[in-house]
Amino acid sequence: MAHEELVAEARQRIQEAEDSAQLDAVRVAFLGKKGQITLLSRQIGSIPQEERPAFGQELNAARESVQQALDERRRQLEQAEEQARLEAEKIDVTLPGTVSAAGGLHPLTQVYHEVRDIFVSMGFDVFHGPEVELDEYNFEKLNIPKEHPARDAQDTFYITDDVLLRTHTSPAQVRAMLNGEPPLRLIAPGRVYRVDEVDATHSPVFMQLEGLIVDKKIRFSDLKGTLNAFLRRYYGPDVKTKFRPGFFPFTEPSAEVDVTCTRCGGKGCSACKGAGMIEVLGCGVVNPVVLENCGIDPAEYSGFAFGLGIDRLATTKYGISDIRLLYENDARFLEQFS
Protein backbone atom coordinates (compact mmCIF):
# COMPACT_ATOMS: atom_id res chain seq x y z
CA MET A 1 0.00 0.00 0.00
CA ALA A 2 1.27 3.50 -0.84
CA HIS A 3 2.31 5.75 2.04
CA GLU A 4 -0.45 8.24 1.43
CA GLU A 5 -3.14 5.63 1.62
CA LEU A 6 -1.65 4.16 4.74
CA VAL A 7 -1.49 7.58 6.36
CA ALA A 8 -5.04 8.36 5.31
CA GLU A 9 -6.31 5.10 6.79
CA ALA A 10 -4.36 5.68 10.01
CA ARG A 11 -5.74 9.20 10.35
CA GLN A 12 -9.26 8.00 9.78
CA ARG A 13 -8.97 5.32 12.48
CA ILE A 14 -7.36 7.79 14.86
CA GLN A 15 -10.32 10.13 14.45
CA GLU A 16 -12.68 7.26 15.12
CA ALA A 17 -10.94 6.18 18.36
CA GLU A 18 -13.31 6.97 21.21
CA ASP A 19 -11.02 6.57 24.18
CA SER A 20 -7.35 6.24 24.99
CA ALA A 21 -7.45 2.42 24.85
CA GLN A 22 -8.80 2.45 21.30
CA LEU A 23 -6.31 5.11 20.36
CA ASP A 24 -3.48 3.01 21.71
CA ALA A 25 -4.63 0.07 19.63
CA VAL A 26 -4.44 2.23 16.50
CA ARG A 27 -0.95 3.37 17.45
CA VAL A 28 0.24 -0.20 17.83
CA ALA A 29 -1.39 -1.17 14.51
CA PHE A 30 0.62 1.44 12.59
CA LEU A 31 3.70 2.43 14.58
CA GLY A 32 4.17 -0.58 16.88
CA LYS A 33 6.90 -3.17 16.37
CA LYS A 34 4.71 -5.03 13.89
CA GLY A 35 2.74 -1.98 12.83
CA GLN A 36 2.11 -1.38 9.16
CA ILE A 37 4.43 1.64 8.85
CA THR A 38 7.17 -0.09 10.79
CA LEU A 39 6.93 -3.15 8.56
CA LEU A 40 7.13 -0.90 5.52
CA SER A 41 10.42 0.54 6.69
CA ARG A 42 11.90 -2.95 6.75
CA GLN A 43 11.41 -3.14 2.98
CA ILE A 44 14.12 -0.50 2.47
CA GLY A 45 16.75 -3.17 1.88
CA SER A 46 14.84 -4.54 -1.08
CA ILE A 47 14.61 -1.32 -3.09
CA PRO A 48 17.24 0.11 -5.37
CA GLN A 49 19.99 2.14 -3.77
CA GLU A 50 19.13 5.44 -5.46
CA GLU A 51 15.46 5.35 -4.41
CA ARG A 52 16.22 4.72 -0.82
CA PRO A 53 16.65 8.34 0.40
CA ALA A 54 13.33 9.39 -1.08
CA PHE A 55 11.69 6.25 0.29
CA GLY A 56 13.14 6.96 3.71
CA GLN A 57 11.98 10.57 3.68
CA GLU A 58 8.46 9.65 2.71
CA LEU A 59 8.39 7.04 5.42
CA ASN A 60 9.57 9.53 8.03
CA ALA A 61 6.97 12.03 6.90
CA ALA A 62 4.31 9.34 7.11
CA ARG A 63 5.38 8.33 10.62
CA GLU A 64 5.45 11.94 11.78
CA SER A 65 2.08 12.68 10.29
CA VAL A 66 0.53 9.68 12.03
CA GLN A 67 2.26 10.55 15.30
CA GLN A 68 0.94 14.11 15.07
CA ALA A 69 -2.58 12.88 14.49
CA LEU A 70 -2.20 10.55 17.47
CA ASP A 71 -0.99 13.37 19.72
CA GLU A 72 -3.76 15.62 18.58
CA ARG A 73 -6.44 13.02 19.14
CA ARG A 74 -4.99 12.13 22.53
CA ARG A 75 -5.28 15.76 23.61
CA GLN A 76 -8.88 15.89 22.41
CA LEU A 77 -9.76 12.72 24.30
CA GLU A 78 -8.06 13.91 27.46
CA GLN A 79 -9.95 17.18 27.28
CA ALA A 80 -13.25 15.37 26.78
CA GLU A 81 -12.52 13.06 29.70
CA GLU A 82 -11.62 16.01 31.93
CA GLN A 83 -14.80 17.76 30.83
CA ALA A 84 -16.89 14.69 31.65
CA ARG A 85 -15.25 14.37 35.05
CA LEU A 86 -15.90 18.02 35.89
CA GLU A 87 -19.47 17.62 34.73
CA ALA A 88 -19.95 14.59 36.96
CA GLU A 89 -18.42 16.29 39.98
CA LYS A 90 -20.25 19.54 39.55
CA ILE A 91 -21.63 21.03 42.79
CA ASP A 92 -24.34 23.66 42.80
CA VAL A 93 -23.15 25.96 45.55
CA THR A 94 -26.39 27.93 45.37
CA LEU A 95 -28.48 24.96 46.62
CA PRO A 96 -29.69 25.42 50.21
CA GLY A 97 -27.75 23.35 52.76
CA THR A 98 -29.17 20.33 54.55
CA VAL A 99 -30.35 21.50 57.95
CA SER A 100 -29.58 18.99 60.67
CA ALA A 101 -31.84 19.28 63.69
CA ALA A 102 -29.82 20.27 66.75
CA GLY A 103 -31.09 19.53 70.23
CA GLY A 104 -31.43 22.12 72.96
CA LEU A 105 -31.59 22.18 76.72
CA HIS A 106 -34.93 21.12 78.22
CA PRO A 107 -36.87 24.05 79.69
CA LEU A 108 -36.58 22.51 83.18
CA THR A 109 -32.80 22.33 82.76
CA GLN A 110 -32.75 25.94 81.54
CA VAL A 111 -34.79 27.09 84.54
CA TYR A 112 -32.57 25.08 86.89
CA HIS A 113 -29.44 26.66 85.38
CA GLU A 114 -30.91 30.13 85.78
CA VAL A 115 -31.89 29.49 89.41
CA ARG A 116 -28.54 27.86 90.17
CA ASP A 117 -26.63 30.79 88.67
CA ILE A 118 -28.55 33.27 90.82
CA PHE A 119 -27.81 31.33 94.03
CA VAL A 120 -24.20 30.67 93.06
CA SER A 121 -23.77 34.42 92.51
CA MET A 122 -24.99 34.87 96.11
CA GLY A 123 -22.30 32.49 97.37
CA PHE A 124 -24.16 29.17 97.53
CA ASP A 125 -22.44 25.86 96.71
CA VAL A 126 -24.15 23.14 94.67
CA PHE A 127 -24.66 19.83 96.44
CA HIS A 128 -26.11 16.65 94.93
CA GLY A 129 -27.94 14.02 96.96
CA PRO A 130 -29.07 10.63 95.63
CA GLU A 131 -32.56 9.95 94.25
CA VAL A 132 -32.65 6.57 96.00
CA GLU A 133 -32.55 7.62 99.63
CA LEU A 134 -32.78 6.24 103.14
CA ASP A 135 -36.06 6.61 105.01
CA GLU A 136 -33.90 7.86 107.85
CA TYR A 137 -32.67 10.87 105.84
CA ASN A 138 -35.84 11.51 103.85
CA PHE A 139 -38.05 11.47 106.99
CA GLU A 140 -36.63 10.50 110.39
CA LYS A 141 -33.79 13.01 110.75
CA LEU A 142 -36.04 15.71 109.33
CA ASN A 143 -38.29 15.25 112.32
CA ILE A 144 -40.92 13.21 110.44
CA PRO A 145 -41.22 9.98 112.43
CA LYS A 146 -43.27 7.00 111.25
CA GLU A 147 -47.01 7.63 111.72
CA HIS A 148 -46.42 11.41 111.49
CA PRO A 149 -49.29 12.95 109.50
CA ALA A 150 -46.76 14.79 107.29
CA ARG A 151 -45.94 11.45 105.72
CA ASP A 152 -49.45 11.31 104.25
CA ALA A 153 -48.77 14.41 102.19
CA GLN A 154 -45.79 12.71 100.58
CA ASP A 155 -47.07 9.31 99.44
CA THR A 156 -43.88 7.37 98.97
CA PHE A 157 -42.43 4.82 96.56
CA TYR A 158 -40.68 2.40 98.92
CA ILE A 159 -37.95 0.08 97.64
CA THR A 160 -37.49 -1.71 100.97
CA ASP A 161 -38.72 -0.77 104.46
CA ASP A 162 -35.72 1.53 104.86
CA VAL A 163 -34.99 2.63 101.30
CA LEU A 164 -37.18 4.80 99.10
CA LEU A 165 -37.28 7.21 96.18
CA ARG A 166 -36.82 10.59 97.83
CA THR A 167 -40.08 12.50 98.11
CA HIS A 168 -38.31 15.85 98.36
CA THR A 169 -34.79 17.28 98.12
CA SER A 170 -34.70 18.00 101.87
CA PRO A 171 -32.66 14.85 102.71
CA ALA A 172 -29.77 16.59 100.90
CA GLN A 173 -29.76 18.99 103.88
CA VAL A 174 -29.22 16.05 106.20
CA ARG A 175 -26.35 14.70 104.12
CA ALA A 176 -24.73 18.13 103.86
CA MET A 177 -24.88 18.64 107.62
CA LEU A 178 -23.70 15.13 108.45
CA ASN A 179 -20.78 15.46 106.03
CA GLY A 180 -19.77 19.06 106.61
CA GLU A 181 -19.20 21.71 109.23
CA PRO A 182 -20.94 25.07 109.48
CA PRO A 183 -20.84 27.56 107.93
CA LEU A 184 -22.88 25.80 105.24
CA ARG A 185 -24.47 27.57 102.32
CA LEU A 186 -25.76 25.28 99.59
CA ILE A 187 -28.43 24.43 97.09
CA ALA A 188 -29.35 20.85 96.16
CA PRO A 189 -31.36 20.28 92.98
CA GLY A 190 -32.93 17.16 91.55
CA ARG A 191 -35.80 14.87 90.75
CA VAL A 192 -38.21 13.80 93.47
CA TYR A 193 -40.91 11.13 93.42
CA ARG A 194 -44.38 10.79 94.90
CA VAL A 195 -47.18 8.32 94.30
CA ASP A 196 -49.59 10.56 92.42
CA GLU A 197 -52.05 10.42 89.55
CA VAL A 198 -50.90 12.40 86.53
CA ASP A 199 -52.95 15.48 85.75
CA ALA A 200 -52.38 19.08 84.69
CA THR A 201 -50.77 19.98 88.02
CA HIS A 202 -49.48 16.62 89.34
CA SER A 203 -46.77 14.25 88.23
CA PRO A 204 -45.21 11.29 90.07
CA VAL A 205 -41.82 12.78 89.24
CA PHE A 206 -40.96 16.45 89.41
CA MET A 207 -38.04 18.72 90.21
CA GLN A 208 -37.17 20.57 93.37
CA LEU A 209 -34.34 22.72 94.57
CA GLU A 210 -33.41 22.72 98.22
CA GLY A 211 -31.51 25.52 99.93
CA LEU A 212 -29.76 25.51 103.27
CA ILE A 213 -27.73 27.96 105.27
CA VAL A 214 -26.29 27.08 108.67
CA ASP A 215 -24.13 29.61 110.48
CA LYS A 216 -24.03 31.68 113.65
CA LYS A 217 -26.95 34.06 114.24
CA ILE A 218 -29.00 33.15 111.18
CA ARG A 219 -32.53 34.51 111.56
CA PHE A 220 -35.85 34.55 109.76
CA SER A 221 -35.04 38.00 108.36
CA ASP A 222 -31.98 36.52 106.58
CA LEU A 223 -34.27 33.98 104.98
CA LYS A 224 -36.72 36.63 103.88
CA GLY A 225 -34.04 38.89 102.44
CA THR A 226 -32.35 36.08 100.55
CA LEU A 227 -35.55 34.67 99.05
CA ASN A 228 -36.92 38.09 98.11
CA ALA A 229 -33.64 38.88 96.37
CA PHE A 230 -33.78 35.58 94.51
CA LEU A 231 -37.44 35.95 93.48
CA ARG A 232 -36.86 39.48 92.19
CA ARG A 233 -33.97 38.33 90.08
CA TYR A 234 -35.86 35.35 88.73
CA TYR A 235 -39.27 36.96 88.05
CA GLY A 236 -38.19 40.58 87.63
CA PRO A 237 -37.98 43.56 90.00
CA ASP A 238 -41.74 44.16 90.08
CA VAL A 239 -42.75 40.79 91.46
CA LYS A 240 -44.67 40.89 94.74
CA THR A 241 -44.02 38.20 97.31
CA LYS A 242 -46.12 37.06 100.25
CA PHE A 243 -44.76 35.02 103.17
CA ARG A 244 -47.68 33.09 104.68
CA PRO A 245 -47.35 31.08 107.91
CA GLY A 246 -46.93 27.40 107.11
CA PHE A 247 -46.00 24.16 108.74
CA PHE A 248 -43.10 21.79 108.08
CA PRO A 249 -41.73 19.43 110.75
CA PHE A 250 -38.14 20.37 109.84
CA THR A 251 -38.52 24.16 110.19
CA GLU A 252 -39.88 26.37 112.96
CA PRO A 253 -41.24 28.87 112.21
CA SER A 254 -42.19 27.90 108.67
CA ALA A 255 -43.64 29.83 105.77
CA GLU A 256 -45.03 29.32 102.31
CA VAL A 257 -44.19 31.95 99.74
CA ASP A 258 -46.48 33.19 96.98
CA VAL A 259 -45.52 35.40 94.05
CA THR A 260 -47.68 37.58 91.80
CA CYS A 261 -49.38 35.43 89.17
CA THR A 262 -47.46 36.12 85.97
CA ARG A 263 -50.52 35.27 83.83
CA CYS A 264 -52.89 37.93 85.21
CA GLY A 265 -50.41 40.21 86.98
CA GLY A 266 -52.30 39.80 90.28
CA LYS A 267 -55.87 40.45 89.11
CA GLY A 268 -56.92 36.82 89.49
CA CYS A 269 -57.33 34.25 86.71
CA SER A 270 -57.77 30.51 86.16
CA ALA A 271 -54.03 29.88 86.62
CA CYS A 272 -54.00 31.28 90.16
CA LYS A 273 -57.63 30.22 90.88
CA GLY A 274 -58.60 33.85 91.33
CA ALA A 275 -56.04 34.54 94.05
CA GLY A 276 -53.68 36.69 91.99
CA MET A 277 -50.78 34.93 93.70
CA ILE A 278 -49.18 31.50 93.22
CA GLU A 279 -47.26 29.46 95.77
CA VAL A 280 -43.72 28.67 94.64
CA LEU A 281 -41.81 27.54 97.72
CA GLY A 282 -41.75 26.43 101.34
CA CYS A 283 -39.19 27.64 103.84
CA GLY A 284 -38.36 28.27 107.45
CA VAL A 285 -35.82 28.46 110.23
CA VAL A 286 -34.20 25.06 110.61
CA ASN A 287 -35.79 23.22 113.53
CA PRO A 288 -33.18 22.82 116.35
CA VAL A 289 -34.22 19.15 116.53
CA VAL A 290 -33.00 18.69 112.94
CA LEU A 291 -29.67 20.41 113.66
CA GLU A 292 -29.17 18.13 116.61
CA ASN A 293 -30.16 15.04 114.57
CA CYS A 294 -27.41 16.00 112.13
CA GLY A 295 -24.69 16.58 114.71
CA ILE A 296 -24.82 20.37 114.87
CA ASP A 297 -25.14 22.19 118.20
CA PRO A 298 -28.30 24.36 118.09
CA ALA A 299 -26.98 26.46 120.97
CA GLU A 300 -24.15 27.62 118.71
CA TYR A 301 -25.67 27.53 115.24
CA SER A 302 -28.92 28.31 113.52
CA GLY A 303 -30.02 28.15 109.92
CA PHE A 304 -32.72 28.57 107.35
CA ALA A 305 -33.91 26.26 104.62
CA PHE A 306 -36.19 26.38 101.63
CA GLY A 307 -37.53 24.05 99.00
CA LEU A 308 -38.81 25.32 95.69
CA GLY A 309 -40.49 23.57 92.82
CA ILE A 310 -38.51 23.97 89.61
CA ASP A 311 -41.58 22.88 87.64
CA ARG A 312 -43.60 25.59 89.34
CA LEU A 313 -40.96 28.21 88.56
CA ALA A 314 -41.05 27.10 84.90
CA THR A 315 -44.84 26.98 84.50
CA THR A 316 -45.36 30.34 86.20
CA LYS A 317 -42.65 32.16 84.29
CA TYR A 318 -43.52 30.77 80.86
CA GLY A 319 -47.30 30.53 81.24
CA ILE A 320 -47.34 26.73 80.83
CA SER A 321 -50.80 25.58 81.87
CA ASP A 322 -50.15 21.83 81.99
CA ILE A 323 -47.19 20.25 83.79
CA ARG A 324 -47.44 17.18 81.52
CA LEU A 325 -45.93 19.26 78.71
CA LEU A 326 -42.70 19.27 80.70
CA TYR A 327 -42.49 15.48 80.76
CA GLU A 328 -43.89 14.32 77.43
CA ASN A 329 -40.95 15.51 75.31
CA ASP A 330 -43.06 16.68 72.40
CA ALA A 331 -40.58 18.39 70.08
CA ARG A 332 -43.19 21.00 69.05
CA PHE A 333 -43.31 22.17 72.67
CA LEU A 334 -39.60 21.86 73.41
CA GLU A 335 -38.56 23.73 70.23
CA GLN A 336 -40.09 26.89 71.65
CA PHE A 337 -37.36 26.96 74.30
CA SER A 338 -34.29 26.50 72.09
- Contacts to ligand DAH by CB under 6 A: 168, 170, 210, 248, 251, 282-284, 305-307
Contact 14, 23 (CB under 8 A): yes
To ligand DAH, the closest distance from the beta carbon of 306 in angstroms equals 5
To ligand DAH, the closest distance from the beta carbon of 304 in angstroms equals 7
Contact 220, 183 (CB under 8 A): no
To ligand DAH, the closest distance from the beta carbon of 254 in angstroms equals 6
Q: Which is nearer to ligand DAH, 119 or 306 (CB)?
A: 306
To ligand DAH, the closest distance from the beta carbon of 192 in angstroms equals 7
Instruction: Enter the DSSP assignment of 2.
Output: -
Q: Which is nearer to ligand DAH, 7 or 227 (CB)?
A: 227
Phi, psi of 208 (to 5 degrees): -125, 165
Q: Which is nearer to ligand DAH, 35 or 249 (CB)?
A: 249
Q: Which is nearer to ligand DAH, 137 or 248 (CB)?
A: 248
C-alpha 36/C-alpha 8 separation (Å) is 13
Closest CB to ligand DAH: residue number:
307
Instruction: Enter the DSSP assignment of 158.
Output: B
To ligand DAH, the closest distance from the beta carbon of 237 in angstroms equals 25
Q: Which is nearer to ligand DAH, 15 or 247 (CB)?
A: 247
C-alpha 131/C-alpha 178 separation (Å) is 18
C-alpha 54/C-alpha 64 separation (Å) is 15
**Cβ-proximal residues to 190 (8 Å cutoff; 6+ apart), any chain:** 128, 129, 131, 166, 169, 172, 207, 208
